[in-house]
Amino acid sequence: MQSEMSVSLWRGGEDGAYVTYKVPERANQTVLDVVTWIQRNVDSTLSYRFACRVGMCGSCAMVVNGRPRWTCRTHVSKVAKNGALQIGPLQNMPIIKDLATDMKPFFEKWQSAKGVFEPSKTRHDPIEEIRPDTPERVAADAAVECINCGVCYSACDTVRWNGDYMGPAALNRAWSLVNDVRDSGQAERLQAVASGGGCHSCHSHQTCQQFCPQSLNPTAAIAGLKRRTVQAYLKGDLKK
């Protein structure tokens, strides 16, 4: 007989609860495989997100046994505890239904951190050459691979304690733009990330770096923003 594992899934909204299912154990199965099996074979009303299934989009992020992860790249054999799994929605975000969260607050903070490129030239200007070995380009490269999966935001204790905190992903994005010499929105961006809920609210716990599936270090980016905003303040470029 095929062996089974016990899987507890969050069902419902904010006032929901974990429901336990028996799922067949299979070789090399991922956590996303487990969730999909339940949706296809037990309860078709189960809500969750996924897209690429190959660790590129980040949309399948969930909390697995207490840790936020990309479920498509997480093998059951590496995370199951005594043959059991607990799978819940990302934390620090409102729950829409089951394993699907509302990421609107996450992206609103991304906007609050001025995470949108502000061009300094038009399409009619010559393309500016950016050397890959300049300090600014190196700093931007260290932060640019974020795909906004929300894992760092879910893991961040400061977000949990301070609802106004912009979060690691938004500030990491701001840091990549601060180091983009083509961007014209630096004054407004530094003012934004220096405000309440900005980079100076970070406690440097580095859970964002620990859990980032892309192996980025948002804490280092936030530290860079702290230095840059202090420098701007001392120069009189920032308002109190």
- Domain annotation covers residue 140: yes
Please say if the pLDDT value at position 188 is more than 90: yes
Rounded Cα distance between 189 and 175, Å, is: 9
- Provide the domain limits for residue 55: 4-101
Asked if 10 and 65 count as a contact pair (C-beta separation under 8 A), the reply is: no
Spatial neighbors of 86 by CB under 8 A, at least 6 apart, are 7, 8, 18, 64, 65, 66
- The yes-or-no verdict on residue 225 having pLDDT over 60 is yes
- Quickly state the pLDDT bin for 130 (edges 50, 70, 90): confident
Residues 164 and 114 placed together within one structural domain of the fold:
yes
E-strand stretches of 12-157:
17-24, 61-64, 67-70, 84-88, 95-97, 100-101
Report the sign of the C-alpha dihedral through residues 163, 153, 158, 218, in that order: negative
Widest CA span in the chain: 73
Q: Using 50, 70 and 90 to split pLDDT, how confident is the model at 82?
A: confident
Assess whether 110 and 24 both reside in one domain. Answer: no
Same domain, 219 and 124: yes
Residue in the block written with tokens 């995370």: 79
Boundary-marking domain end, from 68, 101, 134? 101
- Read off the tokens for 42: 């037990």
Residues 113 and 183 in one domain: yes
Domain count, the chain: 2
Q: Are residues 173 and 90 in the same domain?
A: no
Residue 74 belongs to a domain with what CATH number? 3.10.20.30
Distance separating alpha carbons of residues 98 and 50, to the nearest angstrom: 14
The residue that leads in pLDDT, 173 or 239, is 173
Specify if 240 maps to a domain: no
Name the residue with tokens 């189960």: 46
From 69, 101, 133, the end of a domain falls on: 101
Q: Select from 65, 83, 101 the last residue of a domain.
A: 101
* Over residues 73-92, mean pLDDT: 93
pLDDT reported for residue 2:
67
Instruction: Give yes or no: residues 87 and 14 share one domain.
Output: yes
171 C-beta neighbours (distance < 10 Å), count:
29
Buried b (16+ CB within 10 A) or exposed e, 182-202: ebebbeebbbbbbbebbbebb
Judgement on whether residues 198 and 173 belong to the same structural domain of the protein: yes
165 and 206 both lie in a single domain = yes
Q: Is residue 44 part of a domain?
A: yes
Q: Please tell me whether residues 20 and 52 are part of one structural domain.
A: yes
Residue 1 has pLDDT above 70, yes or no: no
- pTM of structure: 0.93
Note whether 19 and 57 are same-domain residues: yes
Q: What is the pLDDT of residue 42?
A: 97
What is the distance between the alpha carbons of residues 71 and 33, in angstroms, rounded to a whole number?
8
pLDDT averaged over the chain?
Answer: 94
By the 8 A CB rule, do 90 and 68 touch? yes
Q: What's residue 127's pLDDT? A: 87
Tell me: pLDDT of 129 over 90: no
Q: Which of 1-5, 73-77, 194-198 has the lowest mean pLDDT?
A: 1-5
Q: Are residues 90 and 114 in the same domain?
A: no
